[in-house]
Amino acid sequence: MTGKEAVLSEELNGRIALVTAAAGAGIGRAIAHRLAADGATVVLTDIHQQRLEQAAAEIGEATGARVIPQVLDVGDRDRIIEVTDWVRDQVGPLSILVNNAALNILAPIFDYDPADWDRVLAVNLSGPWMLSRQAMRQMRDAGTGGVILNVSTYAPDLGGLGIEAPYAVSKGGLNVLTRSCAHEGGRYGIRVNTLSMGMVTGTRFTDTLHADMRAEEMAQAPLGRLAHVTDIVEAAAFLISDRSAATTGEILNVAAGRHMRY
């Protein structure tokens, strides 16, 4: 998105969003850019400070929105509390949370390092739980409701294919967390949904994969293609906006049907 495309709408004016793992050339940054373009104040978080500050400056310049960089390792609970409390006190209570950060360490179950297991679950499940806890408290206390969007995958349905069991377990847990939070948050006007995907084109990671791997994935998708990052952003924008005001506790698969082909 360029400066010419700055503001898409004003439907998120006055809302404060926090997006994790949003400094790279991937889904987190694309969603953060869209939220800013729709009028939200965006707290951009990542573990890479220099890249984070650059991304915040670029998104802010392109959209005219206020974009605030905050270094955050979602596996660090103390830092989660520090950042979310700072946002509440210095910017305002969160009304949007996007749990996008994820980690996958590949190894056979027989050889999996317990420390790697703990780290994957800390980033993919415990971190989103802690962030959701903090955000839901702010949304409840503000009395204005809010939206949490968890970014997941259909990997839990595969059982992780062995070498990525902790990743699948953590994402399966995240899907359950979505519905638990939706049940508890509903009375306070808090909606919680999951956006689930597989391989996504238009990101630095996928675009560097071998062409044969991408072709194999496309062959497994009923639509004969992979989802593009713009497909993900449009779905995220819908789930975060008031256009989905009656939608909560849902898992929306945006994977060109790939999640059905097992």
List all residues 6 or more positions away from 48 whose beta carbon is below 8 Å from its beta carbon.
Answer: 23, 24
Predicted pLDDT at 1: 41
The token duo for 117 is 């297991």
By annotation, the residues acting in catalysis are: 167
Q: Judge whether 258 and 220 are in contact, CB under 8 Å.
A: yes
The token duo for 255 is 């994977």
Residue ranges in the chain modelled with pLDDT below 70: 1-8, 156-163, 204-222, 224, 256-262
Sorted by where each starts, the structural domains of the chain and their CATH numbers stand as: 3-260 (3.40.50.720)
Predicted pLDDT at 223: 72
Rounded Cα–Cα distance for residues 170 and 156 (Å): 8
Predicted pLDDT at 157: 64
Q: Please indicate, yes or no, whether the overall pTM of this predicted structure exceeds 0.85.
A: yes
Predicted pLDDT at 252: 95
pLDDT in tens, 204-236: 666 665 566 666 666 666 676 777 899 999 999
Q: Residue 239: which of 174, 192, 196, 200 has the closest Cα?
A: 192
